[in-house]
Amino acid sequence: MKKNAIVGQSGGPTSAINATLAGVVSGALEAPFIDKVYGALNGVEGILNERFVDIGAQLSEGDAMTILKQTPAAALGSCRKKLPKPDDEAGKEIYEKLFDFFARHNIGYFFYIGGNDSMDTVAKLSAYAKANGIEGISFVGVPKTIDNDLEGTSQTPGFGSAAKFIAATMQEILRDTAVYTVKAVTIVEIMGRDAGWLTASAALPRLISDVAPDYVYLPEVVFDLDSFYADIEKAFKKHPNVVIAVSEGVRFADGRYVGEGTQSGATDAFGHKYLQGTGKALETLVKEHFGCKVRSVELNLPQRCAAHLLSANDIDESFGAGKAAALNALTVSGCMICYERSDDPYAITYRAKDVSEIANKIRKVPAEFITAGGNNVTDACLAYLLPLIQGEYATIYQNGLPKHFTVKK
Amino acid sequence: MKKNAIVGQSGGPTSAINATLAGVVSGALEAPFIDKVYGALNGVEGILNERFVDIGAQLSEGDAMTILKQTPAAALGSCRKKLPKPDDEAGKEIYEKLFDFFARHNIGYFFYIGGNDSMDTVAKLSAYAKANGIEGISFVGVPKTIDNDLEGTSQTPGFGSAAKFIAATMQEILRDTAVYTVKAVTIVEIMGRDAGWLTASAALPRLISDVAPDYVYLPEVVFDLDSFYADIEKAFKKHPNVVIAVSEGVRFADGRYVGEGTQSGATDAFGHKYLQGTGKALETLVKEHFGCKVRSVELNLPQRCAAHLLSANDIDESFGAGKAAALNALTVSGCMICYERSDDPYAITYRAKDVSEIANKIRKVPAEFITAGGNNVTDACLAYLLPLIQGEYATIYQNGLPKHFTVKK
């Protein structure tokens, strides 16, 4: 007997999260065991508030599916809602509301596209169903995060496009800053609170082009101001324009974030500190120390939404991960769809892994990907990154701008 | 008798300044009256220091010319050197050195690609030659500035690509910020010290897409904090995510820059104040006033170097302007190559105008392009901007990144 599916998006948006949504819907429309395909608006919040659309129907019209694949940010809207523990008496009401929705709408398949915190939601819904003997509903996680910091998967959907944007932008900034002969330092601040994958990708021009940032500072390495000044001093001996890539998440030996000073210390719903001042903080310090021209560039939101420059590999794989989730929904409840990578030739296969082994863990850049000095990445790191930025997605334009899809609400 | 040509680039780099360089060199190689085509490294500084290359020879090899066209930032290097007044006794030595170089290297044609300040250099060299009876050398300016603020030309080379990047990025940021249901303000700070052309282009999605920034604040309009708060209040009644585009150059009624507080008040060689804090300053103010989530995004350097997203119209026209300069070099000394635009259908013709009428003037966004409330641009403004962002340049990639040209020095 066919049952309905519902899909939601959660956490910070990416340039590829809609390619995964397109994959889920495409697979669900094909799957013989799925009837209607609903889209929850703003993730679990939409389910709690009865806000959802028939996304299967919307994406069956005209070029909707194609355009959705190149649209950045969560088309269904997102949320940062953290569910209470399934065995917590105080949270009982929320679970009852969610499962009442599932029952009333004959939902047999729940797909959640998100990062670390979203997998926590999948794990909790699975655990609640199990603990309460609720059967006939699959909970499937599909990864999404530009941070590439999920356990169990060789890379995350969305990372490749972010890495391509960062590498291309770094290459352009390197050209731009090289035009003058005056001594100057340019500090490029890159996203990645706990893992340095995005910042590492700023070094990719070294492998491809004849320009490269002088140094790359990842959050995996303790940030030392004296070594930092010494690094810059050394680079000035080679050329007047020093360019540095630094993660927003670098910290001093005492654990303080370098960018902490300029922020109020606010935290998000998951208790993560909100950072936004690393580049600016270093700009001030370098200006004082060297007395030269210093500029900081925060790549900011475009890192996660610059869908005008997508990695074709990333979009194809993100779509594939979503489709694999839907087509295998009968057998992968409580799982996240992971990537398994092989090289020579590069290829990706999808494998479902128990989400409880993945949620709330962080995959950092390993030691062998960081140079001994701690101020750059190794060639092995670049070899890992290179295939992920390959392929130029053939974006469809309309009147000079990329065409985007909007969900009818 | 054939003479040699020398071409230089000056001022802030753009994504199209190398397309113009390619045009100048291409035209000079074709022109029957030009022999060798030299490139001055770092503008007039290169001439003063005898640093130059045979750019004609370098660009005649393989795909060099094609790749140069898609390479951002001044390939020959740039400078911000302001020449002394031609009749100033103290500056005599510099002019003598420059004209000695021209004589020794049999230079008959000097091309200078740059903005307002660079046209000042062309005007002064012409005036000096005239005043001192020096004949047989043409001084030709070719415009360049993302700011679109030069007099005498319907638009400036480089502006269209910057406008396309800003419009596309704004469209993406609008998608990104719309995913959550919590009240939030996003402030996007855009370049343009004195003229709001770049900031105006952030409104282009309104004409093309179903998203648009709520307000657009240009430096042509006095910035009033109370009206600004009232605008945001009004937008919150329509949706929780308010998105604002603001020029780095907006000022209060007393003339102070909104972003002045966060900068040291440093000025560049031309006496321009160095601004970089408008978005950040407004972020703090809005956070205090509304107590909601506020984020500022400074588009920063990518506005002038994001050559991975070029306007094909802009690149073709920028190349054309350079070529027109070279092919007409015999008759346009003391001139800048200007664009004359016709509509229905849109087309550009090139016309040489006396550089002294252009240098040191600023073309601002006219009143009819700004709404009565002073917080947005009119449809007439968008109609002016739209053709300039048309066409997707077919960028050549290499291993996942746009391929760039490097001058051999």
| A171 lies within 8 A of chain B by CB | yes
* pLDDT score of B39 more than 70: yes
Ranking A30-39, B112-121, B131-140 by mean pLDDT, the lowest is: B112-121
- Identify which has the larger pLDDT, A45 or B281: A45
Give domain status of residue A387, yes or no.
Answer: no
Tens digits of residue pLDDT in A177-218? 999 999 999 999 999 989 999 999 999 999 999 999 999 999
Tens digits of residue pLDDT in B60-95? 999 999 999 999 999 999 999 999 999 888 889 999
Note whether A22 and A126 are same-domain residues. yes
* pLDDT score of A266 more than 70: no
Tens digits of residue pLDDT in B122-133? 999 999 999 999
pLDDT band per the 50, 70, 90 thresholds, residue A359: confident
Q: Which helix (H) or strand (E) holds B379?
A: helix B379-385
- Domain tally, chain A: 2
pLDDT band per the 50, 70, 90 thresholds, residue B271: low
Q: How many CB atoms lie within 10 A of CB A2?
A: 12
pLDDT exceeding 90 applies to what percent of chain B?
A: 90
pLDDT at residue number B265 = 47
Q: What is the mean pLDDT of residues A49-72?
A: 98
**Cβ–Cβ of B297/A301 closer than 8 Å?**
yes
Note whether A23 and A125 are same-domain residues. yes
For residue B305, give both structure tokens: 């170097």
* pLDDT score of A262 more than 50: no
Give domain status of residue B317, yes or no.
Answer: yes
* pLDDT score of A325 more than 90: yes
* pLDDT score of B342 more than 80: yes
Note whether A253 and A324 are same-domain residues. no
CA distance A337 to A24: 11
For residue B268, give both structure tokens: 């560049």
pLDDT exceeding 70 applies to what percent of chain A?
A: 96
pLDDT at residue number B116 = 85
CA distances from B21 to B7, B8, B78, B188, B404 (A): 8, 8, 12, 32, 14
pLDDT at residue number B264 = 46
Give domain status of residue A381, yes or no.
Answer: no
Note whether B230 and B264 are same-domain residues. yes
For residue B73, give both structure tokens: 């930032």
> The domain spanning residue A35 has which CATH number?
3.40.50.450
Range of the domain at B240: 159-305
Q: How far is B261 from chain A (nearest CA, A)?
A: 15
Q: Computed from CA positions of residues A14, A18, A19, A20, in that sequence, does the dihedral angle turn out positive or negative?
A: positive
| Chain B residues within 8 A of A181 when measuring between CB atoms | 42, 45, 77, 79
Which of A289, A305, A321 is where one domain is finished?
A305
| B171 lies within 8 A of chain A by CB | yes
Q: What is the mean pLDDT of residues A348-359?
A: 92
Tens digits of residue pLDDT in A369-397? 999 999 999 999 999 999 999 999 999 99
Which amino acid does the sequence have at A79? C
Q: Does residue B337 contact residue B324 with C-beta atoms inside 8 Å?
A: yes
In the three-class reduction of DSSP (H, G, I as helix; E, B as strand; rest coil), residue A383 is classed as helix
| B383 lies within 8 A of chain A by CB | no
With 0-12 CB in 10 A as exposed, 13-18 as middle and 19+ as buried, what is A371? middle
pLDDT at residue number B1 = 87
| B297 lies within 8 A of chain A by CB | yes
Give domain status of residue A171, yes or no.
Answer: yes
pLDDT band per the 50, 70, 90 thresholds, residue A308: very high
Q: How many CB atoms lie within 10 A of CB B330?
A: 12
Which of A262, A284, A305 is where one domain is finished?
A305
Give domain status of residue B301, yes or no.
Answer: yes
pLDDT band per the 50, 70, 90 thresholds, residue A20: very high
Mean pLDDT computed over every residue of chain A: 94
Q: What is the mean pLDDT of residues B246-268?
A: 77
* pLDDT score of A267 more than 60: no
First to last CA, chain B: 29
* pLDDT score of B260 more than 80: no
Q: Does residue A176 contact residue B13 with C-beta atoms inside 8 Å?
A: yes
CB-based contacts of A231, cutoff 8 Å, min separation 6: A214, A215, A375
CA distance B338 to B332: 12
Q: How many CB atoms lie within 10 A of CB B2?
A: 12
* pLDDT score of A263 more than 50: no
pLDDT exceeding 90 applies to what percent of chain A?
A: 90
Q: What is the mean pLDDT of residues A296-307?
A: 97
Q: What is the mean pLDDT of residues A62-86?
A: 96
Interface test with A, best of B401, B404, B405, B406 (most A CBs within 10 A): B401
Which amino acid does the sequence have at B106? N
CA distance B81 to B84: 10
pLDDT band per the 50, 70, 90 thresholds, residue B272: low
> The domain spanning residue B212 has which CATH number?
3.40.50.460
Give domain status of residue A214, yes or no.
Answer: yes
Q: What is the mean pLDDT of residues B304-327?
A: 98
Q: How far is B219 from chain A (nearest CA, A)?
A: 22
Give domain status of residue A338, yes or no.
Answer: yes
Note whether A165 and A142 are same-domain residues. no
Note whether B110 and B228 are same-domain residues. no
**Cβ–Cβ of B73/A172 closer than 8 Å?**
yes
Interface test with A, best of B179, B280, B286 (most A CBs within 10 A): B179
* pLDDT score of A90 more than 90: no
CA distance B406 to B239: 48
For residue B131, give both structure tokens: 């005043």
Q: Report the greatest alpha carbon distance in chain B.
A: 73
Note whether A135 and A33 are same-domain residues. yes
Q: How far is A59 from chain B (nearest CA, A)?
A: 18
Residue among B12, B397, B298, B172 at smallest CA distance from A204: B397
Give domain status of residue A407, yes or no.
Answer: no
Among the partner-chain residues B176, B207, B397, the one whose CB lies closest to the CB of A304 is: B176
* pLDDT score of B274 more than 80: no
* pLDDT score of A269 more than 60: no
**Cβ–Cβ of A401/B169 closer than 8 Å?**
no
Strands (DSSP E) found in B171-300: 184-190, 215-217, 241-247, 293-298
**Cβ–Cβ of B305/A399 closer than 8 Å?**
no
Note whether B277 and B331 are same-domain residues. no
Active site residues per annotation of A: 147
Closest-CA residue of B relative to A296 is B300
pLDDT at residue number A268 = 46
Given B117, B120, B147, B231, the catalytic residue: B147
pLDDT at residue number B262 = 44
Note whether A72 and A149 are same-domain residues. yes
Closest-CA residue of A relative to B166 is A401
The H helix count followed by the E strand count for chain A is 14, 13
Note whether B142 and B104 are same-domain residues. yes
CB-based contacts of B3, cutoff 8 Å, min separation 6: B33, B34, B35, B106, B107, B108, B109, B136, B137
Note whether A311 and A252 are same-domain residues. no
* pLDDT score of A323 more than 90: yes
Token match 């690094």: residue? A231
Catalytic site includes residue B120: no
Note whether A36 and A149 are same-domain residues. yes
**Cβ–Cβ of B167/A309 closer than 8 Å?**
no
Mean pLDDT computed over every residue of chain B: 94
| Chain A residues within 8 A of B396 when measuring between CB atoms | none
Closest-CA residue of A relative to B74 is A179
Tens digits of residue pLDDT in B310-319? 999 999 999 9
CA distance A365 to B94: 54
Which of A260, A277, A305 is where one domain is finished?
A305
pLDDT at residue number A318 = 98
Closest-CA residue of B relative to A177 is B73
pTM of the full structure: 0.96
